[in-house]
Amino acid sequence: MPPETPHNVGYLVAAYVVAPVILAGYLTALWGRVRRAEGRTEGRKDGRTERRKDGRVDGLEGR
Amino acid sequence: MTGSGSAASSAARALARRGLRISLAALLGLAGVYVLALRFTPVELRQGPAQKIFYLHVPAAWSALIAFSLVGVTSALYLWLHDPRLDRFAASSAEVGVAFSAVMLTTGPIWAKPIWGTWWTWDARLTLTLFLFFLFIGYLALRASVHDPEERARFSAVVGILGMLLVPFIHLSVYLFRTLHPQPVVLKPSAPSLPPEMLRTLLLSTAVFTLLYVGLVTLRYALALAEEARDEAADAA
């Protein structure tokens, strides 16, 4: 690079880290939500239930 | 679980796997974009390496604005046809659009600091984009707070259409108002004003982000289907 070109590679690195963290993080969260929704549906189908930390029982809401 | 509920659950599962595969392929493509941008695309002499943030920021903005435009189009179609698939798609596209907006609104200031000397300025383009982001956060909050599916779809369709109306203003804001934000280099009446190596990287990155949009919307649509199957199972129990 010519000497007059600014040296700001730190900003480049920051942006190139932040973008995939947001996108891969969203993908991971979305996949987790899909798995939980599928699990609860299957739990109801099989008559299985699961007690959550708050004491409520998954698979029984609405009954 | 009813027969239709079981079929919906199976369809959701198949769709979710397809969405996951497309999204993972797009993330792999993003790794390829990184190699192309960092190794094989020249450094812009006046802006330095930070100019390469452009190859993430512009495609993220493209995906976000496409996502929000499609929310508006499918919302308008929902109000006309009352097809729940349109409402499901609008909800999916809005959520994915918010994720891409988050990328746009973080990479933009990271680029602005070394180039403009400030992280943020309240000019028309940036302010309208932030408003659009907040409007769709409100859209998602509205969806979460209304429990009747038809009411939820109708109310959120109106907000979705209003959000879409902001998109052309955001694109044209650099022409309509005095702004620090650079003018478009590709989506403009004249030919793209970028060297071929930079244009190639930008177009490839835009294609990868579009593929990621398709994958994430497919996965989010599958989630909506799975949640409906779950609710149907609860009602049947």
Q: What is the pLDDT of residues B119-175, one digit of tens each?
A: 999 989 999 999 999 999 999 999 999 999 999 999 999 999 999 999 999 988 888
Sort out which chain A residues have CB atoms less than 8 A from B212's CB and list them.
23
DSSP H or E segment with residue B207: helix B196-236
**How far apart are the CA of A30 and the nearest CA of chain B, in angstroms?**
7
Q: Is residue B5's pLDDT more than 70?
A: no
DSSP H or E segment with residue B234: helix B196-236
Both tokens of B214, joined, read 């398709």
**Strand partners of residue A57:** A51
Sort out which chain B residues have CB atoms less than 8 A from A1's CB and list them.
43, 45, 48
The reply to whether A11 touches chain B by the CB within 8 Å rule is yes
Both tokens of A60, joined, read 């029984």
10 Å Cβ neighbour count for A1?
11
pLDDT in tens, A18-63: 999 999 999 999 999 999 998 876 665 555 555 455 545 454 443 3
The reply to whether A21 touches chain B by the CB within 8 Å rule is no
3-state secondary structure of B2: coil
ipTM score of the complex?
0.92
Q: Pick the more confident residue, B230 or B68.
A: B68
